[in-house]
Homo-oligomer: A and B are copies of this chain.
Amino acid sequence: MENKYVTIKRFIDGLPSGLDFELRSAPLTPATPQGSEDVIVKNLFVSIDPYQINRMKEYSSSQETVEVARRLLPGQRIDAFGVGRVVASGNAEFKRDELVAGMLGWEEYTVVRPGVMLTKIDSNLDFPLSYHLGILGPSGLTAYAGFYDVCKPKKGEKVLVSAACGSVGHLVGQFAKLSGCYVVGCAGSKKKVELLKEKLGFDDAFNYKEETDVKSALKRYFPDGIDIYFDNVGAEMQEAAVANMNAFGRVAVCGAISRYTDAGKRAAPDMIDVIYKRITIRGFLAYDHLSIYDDFISATSDHIRHGRMQSLEDISQGLESVPSAFAGLFRGDNVGKKLVQLAHI
């Protein structure tokens, strides 16, 4: 049997395009040999995440940090979060036909080796499968951990979220509203700005592409200053947020997407502000915060059930759409969590 997968044709430098990728296939035996603890999963949804670009570069300092960030080589399969159905299993914990979520890949089938993250989907949680990659998956955990553990919000605080209509951003804004904060989002289109204000309950939102001077834009949106900036983008927006920040303000550095494809996009927050306003700028990775995972799942599923939170998803169909779906992240094509559906249950 053949297993189709997406790979890079070459290392990527700058903005990715569909042409940087190709579909290949490799033989797959749809059974686990005697003694193997592998689990073979048929992938149903795969997650399309900005951080993958840093793995596709010839060099990025991030490649030397955590396991999930290690470099990808041209021709290699690309591991990625996904949900799927077990088709064969040498592992007693997983049975044929069970639904699972974990580190799968941009491919039709993934052979999950022992030690690779894989969990059964809790069948008591009666939510769409895709939620396990978004609002109840890694994006949700990132938003929840970043907002509660890193930003440590207090009721009434003023919160700015960038890439606010993206997978992580639209959830951060909703958590912030549920915590009694005042929330402004910035995003890259009129349509996104409207969604944020009309559907997601943000107090205000603006299109950063229409602002020539983000520092004065933030002054308009936050006449009383910013207490928390949940940063998904880096560069000018981070500098402007720090300039408009109140004493003891916090910047949770979740992502720096503007820099992923443009090495010149550095954030130079004014250290005079950082000192005198006692600002904390803190980078984090969601997976360091697994101790709050159970809280996150129970609080978030409760919010969804009671209609207090909405999940935005943006789903393309078929493995061949992965390259353009991925490239689209860096053009702001996606609205909410970007996923590709590879097959139906």
Q: Are A274 and B278 in contact (CB under 8 A)?
A: no
Complex interface: chain B residues within 8 A of A300 (CB) = none
Q: Which residues of B contact A278 (CB under 8 A)?
A: 282-285, 288
User: Are the CB atoms of A254 and B275 closer together than 8 Å?
Assistant: yes
Pick the contact of A274: B66, B253, B268, B276 (CB < 8 A). B253
Give the interface SS of chain A, mostly helix, strand, loop or mixed: mixed
The answer, among B234, B279, B283, for a CB contact under 8 Å with A277, is B283
Copy count, this protein chain:
2
A274 to chain B minimum Cβ distance, whole angstroms, is 4
Q: In the complex the two chains form, what is the Cα distance from A275 to B275 in whole Å?
A: 21
Expressed in whole angstroms, the Cα–Cα distance for A272 and B253 within the complex equals 9
Q: How far is the CB of A285 from chain B (nearest CB, A)?
A: 6
Provided the pairs A266-B268, A271-B259 are in contact, do residues A276 and B234 lie with their beta carbons within 8 angstroms? Answer: no
- Within the assembled complex, what's the spacing in Å between the Cα atoms of A65 and B60? 38
For this complex, 20 residue pairs linking A to B, each with C-beta atoms less than 8 Å apart, are: A62-B276, A65-B247, A65-B277, A66-B276, A253-B271, A254-B275, A255-B275, A256-B274, A259-B270, A259-B272, A267-B269, A268-B268, A271-B283, A274-B282, A275-B285, A278-B282, A278-B288, A280-B280, A280-B283, A282-B282
Contact status B54-A272, CB under 8 Å: yes
Across the interface, A283 reaches (CB within 8 A) one of B238, B276, B288, namely B276
Question: Is A273 interfacial (CB-CB < 8 Å)?
Answer: yes
Nearest chain B CB to A152 CB, angstrom units: 13
Q: How many chain A residues touch B (Cβ–Cβ < 8 Å)?
A: 39
CB contacts (< 8 Å) of A62 on chain B: these are: 272-273, 275-276
Q: Name the residue in A273, A283, A285 with the highest tally of chain B Cβ atoms < 10 Å from its Cβ.
A: A283
Q: Are B281 and A281 in contact (CB under 8 A)?
A: yes
| 19 new A-B contacts at CB < 8 Å, known A254-B275, A280-B280 | A61-B272, A62-B273, A62-B276, A65-B277, A234-B271, A253-B275, A256-B274, A259-B271, A259-B272, A266-B268, A267-B271, A275-B283, A275-B284, A275-B285, A277-B283, A278-B282, A278-B284, A279-B282, A282-B282
